[in-house]
Amino acid sequence: MKAKQMMDKDFIYASKDDSVVDISIRMEEKKKFTVPILDDSMKLEGWITSLEVTKGLREGKKTISEIMCPVEDILTINANKPAKNAVKMPYLLKNLKIERPNQVWAIDITYGNTAQLQTG
């Protein structure tokens, strides 16, 4: 699986001057757990997660600049290369002869560690 396939294409973004409260509301409304921090020219300056927002609200921080992770701390990936630490699990039903309904059940769970998916 390519990293590009795992990335969220409908993300929200914030600026360093945005209010922690306002961004927490936007994150909740859009069900987003991470938000890139961009400057006026849309260049990446940092990143926040819901954990930083929660801690910032608890500590009375007012602006995103007080809680954001700097761009230097962000793990970057190339969107067209295989995702780091991605594990492809074997298909265990491949050689099984299925003869009746409900003989086997299968589920596909895709897990992505957001700390590894943050892009620069």
The residue to which tokens 């039903």 are assigned:
93
Cβ neighbors of 10 (< 8 A, separation 6 or more) are 30
Is CATH 3.10.580.10 the right assignment for the domain spanning 3-117?
A: yes
What pLDDT, on a 0 to 100 scale, did the predictor assign at position 93? 74
What pLDDT, on a 0 to 100 scale, did the predictor assign at position 12? 86
Interatomic CA distance for residues 110 and 117, integer angstroms:
13
pLDDT along the chain (120 residues), means of 10: 57 92 93 89 89 93 93 68 63 80 74 53
Helix 50-58, helix 20-30: angle, nearest 10: 140
Interatomic CA distance for residues 14 and 66, integer angstroms:
13
